[in-house]
Structure 1
Amino acid sequence: MPVLHTPALPAGRRPLTALLTAALLLGAAVGTAAATPATAAATAAHADEPGWTAEPAAGSAGPARPYFYLSGPAGTVLEDRLALTNSSDRERTVTLRGADAYNTADGALAVRPAEPPAAQGRGGTGRGAGSWISFGTATTVRIPPRTRAVVPFTVTLPPASPPGDHPAAVIAAEDGREAGVRVHLRVAGPTLAALTVEDVSVRGEGARAVVAYTLVNRGNVALVPELALRAEGLFGEVPGRTARALPMELLPGQRVSLTEPWPGAPVLDDVDLTLTVTAPGAAPATASTSAWFVPWGIAARTGAGLLGLGGVALAALLLVRRRRTRGGGPADEEPVPGGKRAPEHELTGASR
């Protein structure tokens, strides 16, 4: 399952929390292994083993394209061409297919693996935009040495396909190695840019503190979010994070769990934290949390010292009391010689 990565354009009660982090804009190709997500390039896709590449075919006079961009109303058929270049000294046999693109749980961009033939015969599970891509009879292409082959393909938009972005990719594979080229596909119609921030929390303390949060794209277009972090402590504003673009593309309907480093987190404070995420065309999304920051190591050592001092004081007090008890009377009382004890007075009520 190749992973397509490309660079992209960031007051409650009080523990500090929350802020953002990241995801991925894809541009064009991806080198990868077949069964699991793999990293990819932002330009023309290269196989893991040098020798062949896959990329959008350039127009008659146009520049090279990093990815495909196709748009049209539901029910239409769109066309484009894939260029396969064999720069090696041996013939290459490359198989081609379409695939759905999606965000992994941590925001990376990936594509669905190929389905087995049996699943394809039953209609399979690939009902996304990847299943709209067809190479016709050219699903297997033989490329002679030092040769460039241009393969046409079509994208058929179903009549009932909803408007908005439908992320997909074209995948070329040979001997278990794959290269993918991103397909930015949009069905014409009303678009909605909307996102929310959820599950904000703070982990760690001091320079190691991070803000964890969940970002959800609730619209029908891909978003490149920005995030900012503001914190207020007992003694005023605490250094947060200024607005910055997240290195990710959040696809429609996708949910990702991210973390944002917070090196300005205090060591000792009670803080209200507010995370704000924006994206072009979308209303700002905010979420708040609070957190106590206590240097537990110092507090534990201080507490142990105070406890030890209290124990010493208590032991000294008990020792003094024990000595007084064993001595009988007060220490400064003089003993009375035997036979000369003063007679006890008898209280009878009569004077003597």
Structure 2
Amino acid sequence: MPVLHTLRRDARGLLLVLLAAAALHTAPAPAAAADEPGWTAEPAAGTAAARPGGARPYFYLEGAPAAVLEDRLALTNTTDQERTVTLRGADAYNTADGALAARPAASGAPGAPGGAGSWFSFGAGATVKIPPRTRAVVPFTVTVPPASPPGDHPAAVIAAEAGREVGVRVHLRVSGPTLAALTVEDVAVRGRGAAAVVAYTLVNRGNVALAPELDVRADGVLGEVPGRGPRTLPVELLPGQRVELTEPWPGAPVLDRVRVRVTVTAPGGARADAAASAWFVPWRAAGWTGLGLLALGGTASAALFLVRRRGPWRRPADGGAPGGPSGKPGATTPAPEHELTGASR
């Protein structure tokens, strides 16, 4: 019998393995490849700003007001059919959480009509037909308006086809004095325990993009509280932009009143800080303690009520010995009920 049970278990295990293998064999292929546009867009190689090997992750252009800057975009068709790609310039900005994005065409957002995205011109190459398995290089120009203020003007080249868009960043700087400046605002502590975070807002008050570094310090009433050491944030803060960020704080205390100070620095001399206070109270334990105190108070009140309910004992009015009207020992007569309550006879 034990041998028979073992064979049955082995057979069941083999059946499960065969079913899993069949499921893997018949599962449909991932559809991730279908989401690829079938072409790529990147800065063309062969310029002085190129990295070793000719590859560039983005465009970098700099010039004085009224200058005309030139560069080239490379489009590569990786499919067996012709592609028609349209090109345009766009303003770049920070989303609320600090990510980089490009404004859509005709967005109507502030700065869109006269922003750096409107300085781009692709001439006859605004619409490009790319034969199968072919690489096309498209020249473009950036005309800096005469009255443009100095500093960084983030932008992007957008290539689009059939509703799909690919953006290539353009670091565009107008020559002149630069200022690195920022502020820290709206510092607050949210959550408790391991889920505690320090929330804050960064605002770029200067005219150049910043790579901020964060340092969080905390002082508690009950002693030293660990904060968060200096670290570079994974955010590029563009000029004039505001982002709302949170920093995990696993060292938050369980019970204390803490003052948290957030300090942010960036290359170029930018520095700012702000602080906020927060109470840390283990509310669950405090709740049980409060319930216990409430129950204790209720018990004490009930006991006091019973004592008052019984009232004082009175001695006999005839001056006899305690025990009854006749004064005989043992002949005790309880007082009427209405005398215990103090009611009128």
Smaller-chain TM-score range? 0.7 to 0.9
- Equivalent position SS for 2:302: helix
For residue 320 of structure 1, report the CA deviation from its aligned partner.
2.6
Deviation readout 1:79-127 (Å, 9 max, x if unpaired): 00000000101000000000000111221111110128xx8xxxx9421
For residue 300 of structure 1, report the CA deviation from its aligned partner.
1.3
Partner residue, 2:231: 244
Deviation readout 1:215-264 (Å, 9 max, x if unpaired): 01000000010101000111322010000111010000111111111111
TM-score for the superposition, normalised by structure 2: 0.79
Letter in 2 for 1:329: R
Structure-to-structure mapping, 1:70-89, within 5 angstroms: 70-89=61-80
Runs of 4+ in structure 1 off by over 4 angstroms are 330-333
1:92 aligns with 2:115: no
Partner residue, 2:94: 103
For residue 329 of structure 1, report the CA deviation from its aligned partner.
2.9
Cα distance in 2 for residues equivalent to 1:85 and 1:330: 114
1:168 aligns with 2:159: no
The count of aligned residue pairs is: 287
| Higher Cα radius of gyration | 2
Instruction: Tell whether the 8 Å contact from 1:47 to 1:178 is kept in structure 2 after alignment.
Output: no
Q: 247, 252, 263: which is aligned to 2:250?
A: 263
More RCO (CA 8 Å, sep 6+): 1
Letter in 1 for 2:89: G
1:336 aligns with 2:325: yes
Cα distance in 2 for residues equivalent to 1:278 and 1:323: 75
Partner residue, 2:289: 302
1:156 aligns with 2:166: no
For residue 62 of structure 1, report the CA deviation from its aligned partner.
4.8
1:63 aligns with 2:54: yes
Query: Unaligned regions of 5+ residues in structure 2, if any?
Result: 1-32, 330-345
Cα distance in 2 for residues equivalent to 1:339 and 1:92: 125
Deviation readout 1:186-227 (Å, 9 max, x if unpaired): 111110000110111111122111111110100000001010
Higher normalized helix content (fraction of residues): 2
1:113 aligns with 2:98: no
Instruction: Tell whether the 8 Å contact from 1:324 to 1:330 is kept in structure 2 after alignment.
Output: no
**Percent identical residues:** 74
Cα distance in 2 for residues equivalent to 1:169 and 1:283: 26
TM-score for the superposition, normalised by structure 1: 0.77
For residue 63 of structure 1, report the CA deviation from its aligned partner.
1.8
Instruction: Tell whether the 8 Å contact from 1:85 to 1:148 is kept in structure 2 after alignment.
Output: yes
Partner residue, 1:212: 199
Letter in 1 for 2:264: V
Letter in 2 for 1:151: V
Deviation readout 1:140-167 (Å, 9 max, x if unpaired): 0000000000000001111111111000
